[in-house]
């Protein structure tokens, strides 16, 4: 397929169709409504299901229902809508069914605004609903990566029967850039054997998150935790650049990660030996690799569009071995290369590394 100019929201929606999305349920919210609009026509032309729900609560429960039937299903939203979905996300996690949700983060808390943000990090990685669970959280940094991660999201969701979230932000959803879509893939021929498909000739499948007996629920909890441990071991993904000789390390994801690529390039021109680690999975988090790099680098600068949320995971991974600085913008503001570079230079100077 040739590259074409694509808007992030349209790109992930179209990629989902090509990766075999069978049903989409959503509710309009800026800055991701273009995805819903794209799918409103596209899904119908493919004779698949599209429905604009009456709320995000309805949307996530429609997703829940379709997923129980073994249908490849997703929804997409932004901050406030994602908050509304939290109850459903918890039930989906407890029921162990594959579901993909895209959250194009916007400024918060509350109504906030419709500008890009990364302030849903805690919410998405650590507390997307009540109870003990973590979704897999993927963090794309370009339109191409959103496309690629849609395929990965469905794959991981179905492999582990788990909730997969894609943590985008308003700028990724709204920006247009050149990207390549995958070819159209065939829909799954069979529905999975755990799904509710009619119990003719077999034992009924029961999908539930209700276990009234404490011992039973604890068994389920332990099984869920074992699955999460498996995911933690096998599904950590990140991009590393120029770390071989790095004395300083930038850690940033998504849009901030992309900005830090420019910061790194300019810092290198100034003679600062800096590398970049950009997590592509926020959960599971590349804590081990950051820990390893702490044996090599002298300091870390974390950059986020938040008050410092991933910062806590980096801090935990570093375990006090190197100083950590933070550069954060909030309210829909995007970090500027010059400002991050200034903080990086200050860190270098404080460590006696300035050229």
Partner 1 sequence: MPDEPRASDYKSDVKPIWCPGCGDYAVLAALMRAFAHLRLAKENITVASGIGCSSRFPTFLDTYGIHGIHGRVLPLATGIKLGRPETTVIAVGGDGDGFSIGGGHIPHAARRNVDLTYIVMDNNIYGMTKGQPSPTSPEGIVNKAAPYGAQEGPLNPILLALSYDVSFVARCYSGKIKELTDVLIEALKHPGFSLIQVLSPCVTYYNTYDHYREITQPLPSSHDPTDRLAAIALALQTETQYLGIFYRDSSRPSYGERFDAVRAKAPQTTLAAIFEGLKR
- Check binding of 86 to partner 1 (CB under 8 A): no
**Choices 24-32, 178-186, 228-236, 319-327 (CB under 8 A): range interacting with partner 1:** 24-32
- Check binding of 27 to partner 1 (CB under 8 A): yes
- Check binding of 44 to partner 1 (CB under 8 A): yes
**Residue whose CB is less far from partner 1, 57 or 334:** 57
- Check binding of 124 to partner 1 (CB under 8 A): no
Is 209 buried (19+), middle (13-18) or exposed (0-12) by CB count in 10 A?
middle
**Choices 49-57, 118-126, 206-214, 312-320 (CB under 8 A): range interacting with partner 1:** 49-57
**Residue whose CB is less far from partner 1, 45 or 202:** 45
**Choices 27-35, 65-73, 98-106, 327-335 (CB under 8 A): range interacting with partner 1:** 27-35
Shortest approach of partner 1 to residue 262 CB, angstroms?
32
Backbone phi and psi for residue 201, each to the nearest 5 degrees, phi listed first: 80, 10
- Tokens 């029921």 found at: 95
Question: 89 is written with which tokens?
Answer: 């996300």
**Residue whose CB is less far from partner 1, 35 or 167:** 35
Task: Spell out a b/e string for 71-80, using b for 16 or more CB atoms within 10 Å of the CB, else e.
Answer: bbbbbbbbbe
**Residue whose CB is less far from partner 1, 56 or 304:** 56
Question: Which listed residue (40, 127, 221, 242) binds partner 1 by CB under 8 A?
Answer: 40
- Check binding of 28 to partner 1 (CB under 8 A): yes
- Check binding of 109 to partner 1 (CB under 8 A): no
Sign of the C-alpha dihedral computed for residues 24, 235, 132 and 146 taken in this order: negative
- Check binding of 111 to partner 1 (CB under 8 A): yes
Question: Which listed residue (46, 52, 308, 321) binds partner 1 by CB under 8 A?
Answer: 52
- Check binding of 55 to partner 1 (CB under 8 A): yes
Pairwise CA distance, residues 208 & 89, whole Å: 13
- Check binding of 185 to partner 1 (CB under 8 A): no
Is residue 104 a contact partner of residue 172, using CB atoms and an 8 Å limit?
A: yes
- Check binding of 131 to partner 1 (CB under 8 A): no
- Check binding of 197 to partner 1 (CB under 8 A): no
CA-nearest of 287, 315, 319, 297 to 242 is 297
Outline where DSSP puts E strands in the chain. 3-7, 23-26, 49-52, 73-77, 99-105, 136-138, 163-169, 176-180, 238-241, 248-251, 274-279, 281-283, 299-304, 324-328
CA-nearest of 79, 121, 101 to 279 is 121
Pairwise CA distance, residues 102 & 104, whole Å: 6
DSSP state of 296: T
Question: Which listed residue (9, 22, 33, 174) binds partner 1 by CB under 8 A?
Answer: 33
Residues within the interface to partner 1 (CB under 8 A): 27-30, 33, 36-37, 40-41, 44, 52, 54-57, 80, 111
């Amino acid at each position: 397929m040739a590259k074409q100019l694509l808007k992030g929201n349209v790109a992930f929606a179209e990629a989902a169709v090509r990766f075999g999305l069978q049903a989409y349920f959503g509710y309009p919210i800026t800055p991701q409504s273009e995805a819903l609009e794209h799918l409103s026509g596209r899904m119908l032309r493919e004779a698949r299901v599209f429905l604009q729900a009456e709320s995000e609560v309805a949307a996530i429960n429609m997703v829940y229902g379709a997923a129980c039937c073994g249908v490849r299903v997703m929804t997409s939203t932004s901050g406030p809508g994602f908050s509304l979905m939290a109850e459903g996300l918890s039930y989906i996690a407890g029921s162990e069914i594959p579901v993909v949700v895209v959250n194009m983060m916007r400024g918060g808390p509350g109504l906030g605004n419709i500008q890009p943000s990364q302030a849903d990090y805690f919410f998405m990685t650590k507390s997307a609903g009540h109870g003990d669970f973590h979704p897999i959280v993927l963090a794309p940094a370009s339109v191409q990566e959103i496309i690629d991660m849609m395929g990965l999201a469905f794959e991981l969701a179905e492999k582990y029967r788990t909730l997969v979230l894609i943590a985008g932000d308003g700028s990724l959803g709204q920006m247009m850039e050149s990207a390549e879509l995958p070819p159209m893939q065939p829909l799954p021929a069979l529905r999975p054997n755990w799904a509710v498909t009619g119990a003719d000739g077999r034992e009924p499948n029961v999908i539930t998150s209700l276990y009234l007996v404490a011992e039973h629920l604890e068994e389920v909890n332990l099984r869920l935790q074992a699955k999460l441990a498996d995911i933690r071991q096998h599904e950590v993904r990140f991009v590393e650049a120029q770390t071989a000789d790095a004395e300083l390390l930038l850690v940033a994801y998504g849009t901030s990660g992309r900005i830090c690529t420019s910061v790194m390039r300019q810092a290198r021109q100034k003679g600062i030996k800096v590398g970049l680690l950009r997590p592509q999975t926020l959960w599971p988090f590349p804590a081990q690799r950051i820990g390893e790099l702490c044996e090599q680098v002298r300091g870390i600068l974390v950059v986020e569009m938040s008050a410092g949320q991933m910062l806590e995971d980096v801090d935990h991974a570093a375990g006090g071995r190197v100083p950590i600085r933070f550069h954060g913008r909030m309210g829909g503001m995007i970090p500027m290369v010059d400002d991050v570079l200034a903080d990086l230079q200050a860190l270098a100077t404080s460590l006696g590394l300035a050229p």
